[in-house]
Amino acid sequence: MKELVARCRALLRRQGYTTSSAQTSVQKYGQIHLFSEECRVVVRGKEVNLSPKEFRLLELFMSYPGRVWSREQIIAQVWGHDFLGDTKTVDVHVRWLREKLESDPSEPEYLITVRGFGYRFG
């Protein structure tokens, strides 16, 4: 039986199939690692628990590092076009995200406020 299993694995390996788990897409920026398929974030080697909106917000920022996002653009991307709330919601979620990601939230190095425009990652 062991030989049969070994031969089957060899055949699959030759055909390009792997026996390991599927590769996950990982976005890295500085000390932040975002595992999008697993919905988890690791900062400085420690896993951080994020709410679904915080995760989607971070995923949006990490997908476009350096790009400046207005509150309206962020709401359209994360909450959807049919959101019926205040744009200050973005400010609150960014503050919560900073508290979880930044070593010093009052001096952010990842989530930067661009005065008069919005927010930038990186």
Residues 53-111 have pLDDT tens digits of 999 999 999 999 999 999 999 999 999 888 888 889 999 999 999 999 999 999 999 99
pLDDT confidence bin for 112, thresholds 50/70/90: very high
The structure's pTM equals: 0.76
Predicted local distance difference test score (pLDDT) of residue 23 = 52
Q: Which amino acid is at 61?
A: F
Query: Rounded to whole angstroms, how far apart are CA atoms 70 and 119?
Result: 7
Q: Are 100 and 34 in contact (CB under 8 A)?
A: no
pLDDT at 24: 58
Q: Domain extents for the chain?
A: 51-121
For domain 51-121, the question of CATH label 2.60.40.1250 is answered with no
